[in-house]
Structure 1
Amino acid sequence: MSESKNKNNWRQMIAPYEQSNTKRSIWQLINTFVPLVLLWYATYWSLSISYWLTLPLAIVTAGVLVRIFIIFHDCCHGSFFSNKQANRIVGTITGILTFCPYDQWKYSHSRHHATSGNLDKHGVGDIWTLTVEEYLELPKLKRIAYRLYRNPIVMFGLGPSFIFLVNYRFNRKGAKQREKNNTYLTNIAIVGLIAFFCWLIGWKAFLLVQGPIFLISGLAGVWLFYVQHQFEGAYFEKDENWNHVDAALQGSSFYKLPRILQWFTGNIGFHHIHHLSSRVPNYYLDKAHKENELFQDVAPVTFFSSFKSLRFRIWDENRKKLMGFSYIKKFLQANKLKG
């Protein structure tokens, strides 16, 4: 079957994987939450031995917290359970653990899925990506702000802390009351959890344990989201040329990770399939990829090749490529010569 026919039949192709399995979902909750509790305790216990033991344990615990976030992510899409209320309850709980208000994130992420790769509608829930022309039209201060935003130190160093500690604590403009209440509930629960653990083990021990777990998991989460849409061969189009299938299969990466990292990241590396249908639970993404040639034809981004994405800063509509800031000078010179 040709690739074009495969693309036309994608709904029929993806349908068998879109049904959640309650037993698998519950088992994933068990095999994620139990390791989280045990590892968190082991990380705390290791403080009495050496902080050099604490840090490696914190890294592994942070990996499990990333897996918790993937469960939260599936609940926001309504794909983890078939029951809406079950998704909402588990999503709110996992959202508290990952510092993400369920309703707020569900709204912004659904906007991201609807507009990913669309140059006329991008912005909500996305990595801020400008075209060369858009960048050149900005006033100087906004250009500086964009350059700072795209700096790896800011994006992966300061960015996660700002997003999870500050940005998610406030309701978006236009939020409905139910969404506002969920944000308030999440904030109160987060403060309550922190207060409880500070009382239980002391604030210094809590910071020494939770601090690196939070920072590492936040960095990993932002990095995964970045690589999913900022890679060599990424897809961006104006609204009149944009279409859902190409945005999914070309604009969302197949991040081919080692098996152990695939477990920690809840198969989110199969992002091309996830963007084609967000109704597929994370535990069926690998199966969908293996059983369908269309998905296997997507060129993978490997763990090591993904670091090339760090040099991408801006989209050139002429070349249809993500470029570095150094390209702007070449662009201006080329246009000056044409003029």
Structure 2
Amino acid sequence: MQLNLVELNSPSEEKSLNSRPSELPFTLQQLKSAIPDYCFEPSPGKSLFYFFLDISIIGLLYGMAFFFDSWWLWPVFCLMQGTMFWALFVVGHDCGHGSFSRHKWLNNLIGHLSHTPILVPFHGWRISHRTHHQNTGNIDTDESWYPVTETKYQSMSWWEKLLRFEVLLFVYPLYLFRRSPDREAGSHFLPDSPLFKPSEKWDVITSTICWVLMVGFLACLTYQFGWLFLLKYYLGPYVVFVVWLDLVTFLHHTEPDIPWYRGKDWYFLKGALSTIDRDYGLFNNIHHNIGTHVAHHIFLSMPHYHLKTATEAIKPILGDYYRASNQSIWQEYWRSYRSCHFVPDTGAMVYHRSKNEITAD
């Protein structure tokens, strides 16, 4: 189940993670040495090209929508524009990892310009996403799409199961306000949330202010032009964007054949390999190869446009530890949707089980 990222921001951090005892037949340094050095160097010019390309396409789609002004074409517009919202999110995702450029101010600027229009608080998301990458594959400390235990599953209320397992492709906005189950409640908008350190207060406040201004702008448009205008030109594409975000994240972290770890059996490199590369067909280039996720989790500060090269370089070393799927995305979603509901209460390395496999009392 492929997906996302620890942050190796310094050689000392990388050395510390690489020195952890491991039964893996390779080390982090061996993987890094197999990849061309240029793959680790972001190009501000190339990164900005993708940002402005996405913005230009979004602007073009809005121009076409205003020109034709047709409800008959509205579903097509929503699908196309929502997909571009998702592509823009991925650009901001690079900013959050510091893989957009080596300039913090540029990462923060483009991160806000990418995420604020689609109602994502950049710094709030960046920080919780960092936690996810630092703990990928760890049942107890991962932040995103971690599995619940069998006992937790049995004790969940009907509405918790509804949100978690039935309408999961629409829950991202709720996660921003409430976080995930089994974790201390926390909002991505409040600086005193347990998601954040005191030193991150002003980063969180800055992004929350940007988010509030965007909501205010949408409210002004609604007041001026009406609810149908908001639905037609923003809410429709926004829903498609949310579905993309939840679908991709779910597929990269929820897979029957991917292990999860507890306690001392977990460490960064092993957890980083608990993800899978997915093939999104014609969408691969549109959303900046986000499906190339294994290499991304191992080397989070690598720009998206070098991930395919890095993947080919490390595949011979990873061997069977590299996981990829070329099946239909919806076929894979349906398989995980039906078979991934909880993990056993005990065990150092565990796998998802279906609700039909609940242990009899």
Output the TM-score relative to the length of structure 1: 0.84
Deviations 1:251-277 (A, max 9, x none): 11111221x211232211111111101
| Cross-structure match for 2:92 | 72
State yes or no: 1:325 paired with 2:346: no
| Cross-structure match for 1:132 | 150
State yes or no: 1:43 paired with 2:73: no
| Cross-structure match for 2:161 | 147
The answer to which of 162-171 and 79-88 deviates more is 162-171
**Conserved? CA contact 2:222–2:230, under 8 Å:** yes
Distance in 2 (alpha carbons) for counterparts of 1:252 and 1:52: 39
Q: Which runs of 5+ in 1 are unaligned?
A: 334-339
Match of 2:234 among 194, 210, 231: 210
Deviations 1:163-199 (A, max 9, x none): 4688655455154431332233222321243145446
Q: CA RMSD in A?
A: 2.6
CA distance 1:39–1:178, change in 2 (3 Å)? same
Distance in 2 (alpha carbons) for counterparts of 1:210 and 1:271: 29
| Cross-structure match for 2:307 | 285
Distance in 1 (alpha carbons) for counterparts of 2:216 and 2:158: 38
The answer to which of 24-33 and 190-199 deviates more is 190-199
Match of 1:310 among 337, 342, 352: 337
| Cross-structure match for 1:252 | 275
Distance in 1 (alpha carbons) for counterparts of 2:303 and 2:188: 25
CA distance 1:265–1:135, change in 2 (3 Å)? same
State yes or no: 1:231 paired with 2:255: yes
CA distance 1:10–1:145, change in 2 (3 Å)? farther
State the one-letter code of the partner of 2:39.
Y
Identity percentage of aligned residues:
17
Give 1:51-70 correspondences, 5 Å limit: 51-70=71-90
CA distance 1:115–1:143, change in 2 (3 Å)? farther
Deviations 1:2-55 (A, max 9, x none): x824765123234542210122112111211100111122223332xx312121
Distance in 1 (alpha carbons) for counterparts of 2:230 and 2:164: 32
Distance in 1 (alpha carbons) for counterparts of 2:86 and 2:149: 31
State the one-letter code of the partner of 1:130.
V
State the one-letter code of the partner of 1:120.
D
Q: Which runs of 5+ in 2 are unaligned?
A: 1-23, 179-186
Give 1:74-113 correspondences, 5 Å limit: 74-113=94-133
State the one-letter code of the partner of 1:327.
E
- How many residue pairs are counted as aligned between the two chains? 317
Distance in 2 (alpha carbons) for counterparts of 1:185 and 1:131: 37
State the one-letter code of the partner of 1:19.
E
Output the TM-score relative to the length of structure 2: 0.79
DSSP 3-state at the match of 2:290: coil
| Cross-structure match for 1:160 | 172
Match of 2:137 among 117, 125, 132: 117
**Conserved? CA contact 1:290–1:296, under 8 Å:** no
Give 1:11-50 correspondences, 5 Å limit: 11-14=32-35, 16-47=38-69, 50=70
- Deviation, structure 1 residue 129: 1.6
- Deviation, structure 1 residue 128: 4.6
Match of 1:184 among 199, 203, 208: 208
Distance in 1 (alpha carbons) for counterparts of 2:219 and 2:128: 29
**Conserved? CA contact 2:34–2:313, under 8 Å:** no
Deviations 1:214-268 (A, max 9, x none): 111101101111111101211201120112222222x11111221x211232211
More helix by share: 1
DSSP 3-state at the match of 2:264: coil
The answer to which of 282-291 and 54-63 deviates more is 282-291
State the one-letter code of the partner of 1:211.
L
DSSP 3-state at the match of 1:322: coil
DSSP 3-state at the match of 1:79: coil
| Cross-structure match for 2:3 | none
Distance in 2 (alpha carbons) for counterparts of 1:227 and 1:221: 10
- Deviation, structure 1 residue 82: 1.2
- Deviation, structure 1 residue 296: 7.6
Distance in 2 (alpha carbons) for counterparts of 1:196 and 1:41: 20
DSSP 3-state at the match of 1:326: helix
Distance in 2 (alpha carbons) for counterparts of 1:143 and 1:323: 19
